[in-house]
Amino acid sequence: MVVLPLPIIIHPVTLFFIIFFAFSALAKAERYSVLSYGAKPDGKTDSTKAFAAAWSRACASTKPAMIYVPQGRFYLGQVRFQGPCMNHAILLRIDGTLVAPSDYKVIGNAKNWLLFEHVNGVTVSGGTLDGQGAGLWSCKNSGKGCPSGATSLEFSNSNNIAISGLASLNSQLFHIVINGCQNVKMQGVKVSAAGNSPNTDGLHVQSSTGVTILNSRIGTGDDCVSIGPGTSNLWIENVACGPGHGISIGSLGKESPEAGVQNVTVKTTTFTGTQNGLRIKSWGRPSNGFARHILFQHAVMNNVQNPIVIDQNYCPGEKNCPG
C-alpha cells in the first residue's frame, strides 16, 4: 500500500508574503551579465571563460546573485559550475540559447556539457540548451567507433535546486541528469530530440531524494524519464511523453550490491506514439536492489506499443544475458 502525504494548505496571506520576500530577495541580488565578462551572442565566439568568470563572481558573493544571459546564441564548450558557494541563492536567468559545439568530438568524451556540482540553492530559469547532437547520433547509428557523448545539463551532489521553463534540444546523450541530489523541483521543462536518437533520455534521476517533475513535455529517442538506483520520494505529475521509450524505473539489478528505488508517484501522464508507457526493468541476476511503493495513476496511452511493462529479465541486445 502506498501512503501519500496530506496536501499542504498555504493561507493566501502567507503565500503573498512568500512571493513578496522572494521578489525582494531577487531585487537585492547582485547581477552578473555574461556580456560583462566577454560573452558574445553570435553563436560562434567561445564564451566558455566568460560564463565561468560570471559563475566565480556569483559563487563568491555573500549576497543573493543572478547570472544573466540575454537574448542571442552563446557558444560554449564544457562549463563546470563548482561549489560550494558563499551564498545559497544563485539564479541563472537565461533569455537566450546556449549552443554546444557542432563537432561532437570536442565534448564527446567529457561526460557533461554543463555541470553543477556541490551547489546549494541554485535556480535555472528559462532559455534553451542546444546540444547539437545529430552528428554523434549519426556516428552511433553507423556502427563506427564514437565517443559516448555528453549529458547537456547535470546537477551532482547538490541540494535545493530548481529548474523552470528550460528547453533542451538535441542533446548528445541524456538531456538533464539529477545525481546525488536532495530537494529538486523541475517544472515547465521541454525536451526535444529525434525519435531515433540513441541514449537521449529526457530526464534522468538517480541516487536522489525529494525530486518533483511537473508540467513538462518530453520527446526523445529513449526514456522520457528514467529512474535509476537510489531514487526515493520522486513525484512526477502532468508530463506528456512522446516520442520515446516511456517513463522507466531501471534498469535495476545490474550490480549485486545496489540501492533500491522507493516511494515513486507518477500521475496524470500522457503517452503518444511511444514504445512503452510505464515500465519497470531489472536484470535477471541476484541483487539486493528493489522497487517498492510505486504508484502509477491516471495515465493516458495513445498509440503505445507496450502500455505497461514489468520486465525482470532485462537484457538489451539479447547477448550474454545473465538470467
Catalytic residues: 245
Residues near 3 by beta carbon (within 8 Å), at least 6 away in sequence: none
Residue (of 250, 306, 310) closest to 277 by Cα position: 306
DSSP string, 117-152: ES-BSEEEES-EEE--THHHHHHHHHT-------EE
CA-nearest of 318, 308, 175, 154 to 246 is 308
Residue 215 in contact with residue 188, Cβ under 8 Å?
Answer: yes
DSSP state of 257: S
Counting Cα atoms < 13 Å in the Cβ hemisphere of 20 gives 6
Residue type, 323: G
Rounded Cα–Cα distance for residues 58 and 63 (Å)? 9
Give the separation between CA 251 and CA 55, rounded to whole angstroms: 35
Helix (H, G, I), strand (E, B) or coil at 181: coil
